[in-house]
């Protein structure tokens, strides 16, 4: 079968992947569509260290092909959106409703794929850039069949992370104010999460002026073009003179992390979603924190995928959550290199690979 493999030096589309049958508690899914996220690119450029060879992709949706023993919540033929969270369901964190903190879901990649007899790792317990993938049952969430799979694919990473950061982690309240730094796939979902939460002011900041139209479409009330404004913080302060209740950094730049902290009002929260290099450090004025400000990390939108994916699919059906509008371009998997180039140059909000 076809898939995208990173061998430690380059990523390429291959046609000779094999995958084993599902074991107990596993689900075999025929992937229909998969979003290209910057986390996949970060594996290729080394920002996210991951052992090669690995089948890439982690934002996918498809149709259940087979299930292993003990799987009852999905069956062959069901449409599913996949999460990357292979949590155990039995530890203290899972029991507290914090599956993103499950230690068994972090840093233990399986190798269900093979190629010419050599085992290949699975990225993010998912590997959606393959015609078929194998996931734990908890990762497969049944969705209505009237949700297009090209759109449903994006729920499993970008939507869970961005919307979840607003609703689950920051818990943005009705009438509060929000600044979103970076309006890529994650940033747009933060924006629409803030809109759904009822934020009164949503300021989007990006260095690409072409992003303004889509940012406003998703719910931004104001847009600051960082490529033309001499002082981005001053431009934001023109809209929010005392600062924001919530600032989300969605780029992964330590300078912008500092900016997010500096843009907070008293009792404000800076939420970090972008991923800098793993050894990078950020600074802030310690004295400013005594105004009850908070810097918050956020893993995967602090989500509960079985609950949240189903909720977001329903919000989409009600017209409250934008998914189709996130899909800027659809590529056959053979055009993976073009999809990567478009993502690198900011030509797409999200490119989606299809099989």
Q: Closest Cα to residue 65, out of 76, 75, 54?
A: 76
Q: Closest Cα to residue 276, out of 294, 303, 299, 249?
A: 249
pLDDT (average), residues 76-81: 98
Interior/surface letters 311-345, b for 16+ CB within 10 angstroms, e for the rest: bbbebbeeeebbbeebbebebebebbeebbebbee
- The predicted pLDDT at position 108 comes to 65
Assess contact for 168 and 248: CB atoms under 8 A. Answer: no
Rounded to whole angstroms, how far apart are CA atoms 62 and 145? Answer: 10
Dump pLDDT digits (tens) for 265-323.
Answer: 999 999 999 988 778 999 999 998 999 999 999 999 999 999 999 999 999 999 999 99
Is pLDDT at 349 greater than 80 in this prediction?
Answer: no
Residue 107 — very low, low, confident or very high, per pLDDT cuts 50/70/90?
Answer: low
- The predicted pLDDT at position 322 comes to 97
- H helical segments located in 180-253: 185-197, 212-218, 232-239
- The predicted pLDDT at position 133 comes to 98
- The predicted pLDDT at position 47 comes to 84
Residue positions counted in the chain: 355
Q: Which H/E stretch holds residue 20?
A: none
Is pLDDT at 198 greater than 80 in this prediction?
Answer: yes
Give backbone dihedrals phi and psi of 85, rounded to 5 degrees, phi first. -95, 95
pLDDT (average), residues 40-61: 93
- The predicted pLDDT at position 183 comes to 95
Assess contact for 351 and 227: CB atoms under 8 A. Answer: no
Q: How many CB atoms lie within 10 A of CB 104?
A: 14
Dump pLDDT digits (tens) for 208-227.
Answer: 999 999 999 999 999 999 99
pLDDT (average), residues 6-33: 97
């Amino acid at each position: 079968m076809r898939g995208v493999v990173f061998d430690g030096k380059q990523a390429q589309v291959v046609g000779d992947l094999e995958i084993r049958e599902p074991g107990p508690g596993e689900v075999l899914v025929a992937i229909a569509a998969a979003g290209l996220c910057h986390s996949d690119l970060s594996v290729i450029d080394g920002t996210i260290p991951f052992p090669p060879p690995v089948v890439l992709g982690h934002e996918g949706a498809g149709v259940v092909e087979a299930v292993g023993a003990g799987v009852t919540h999905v069956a062959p033929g069901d449409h599913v959106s996949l999460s990357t969270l292979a949590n155990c369901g039995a530890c203290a964190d899972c029991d507290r409703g914090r599956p993103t903190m499950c230690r068994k879901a972090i840093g233990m990649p399986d190798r269900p794929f093979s190629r010419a007899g050599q085992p290949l790792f699975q990225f993010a317990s998912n590997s959606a850039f393959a015609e078929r993938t194998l996931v734990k049952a908890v990762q497969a969430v049944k969705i209505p069949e009237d949700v297009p799979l090209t759109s449903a694919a994006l729920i499993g990473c970008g939507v869970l992370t961005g919307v979840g950061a607003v609703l689950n982690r920051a818990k943005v309240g009705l009438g509060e104010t929000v600044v979103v730094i970076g309006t890529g796939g994650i940033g747009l979902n933060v924006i629409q999460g803030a809109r759904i939460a009822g934020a009164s002011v949503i300021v989007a900041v990006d260095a690409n002026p072409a992003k303004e139209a889509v940012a406003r479409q998703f719910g931004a009330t104001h847009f600051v073009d960082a490529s033309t404004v001499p002082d981005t913080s001053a431009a934001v302060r023109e809209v929010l003179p005392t600062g924001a209740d919530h600032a989300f950094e969605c780029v992964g730049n330590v300078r912008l992390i500092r900016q997010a902290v500096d843009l907070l009002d008293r009792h404000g929260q800076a939420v970090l979603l972008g991923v800098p290099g793993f050894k990078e450090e950020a600074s802030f004025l310690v004295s400013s924190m005594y105004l009850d400000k908070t810097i918050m990390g956020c893993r995967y939108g602090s989500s509960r995928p079985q609950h949240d994916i189903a909720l977001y699919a329903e919000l989409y059906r009600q017209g409250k959550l934008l998914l189709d509008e996130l899909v800027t371009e659809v590529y056959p998997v053979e055009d993976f290199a073009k999809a990567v180039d478009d993502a690198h140059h900011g030509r797409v909000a999200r490119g989606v690979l299809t099989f």
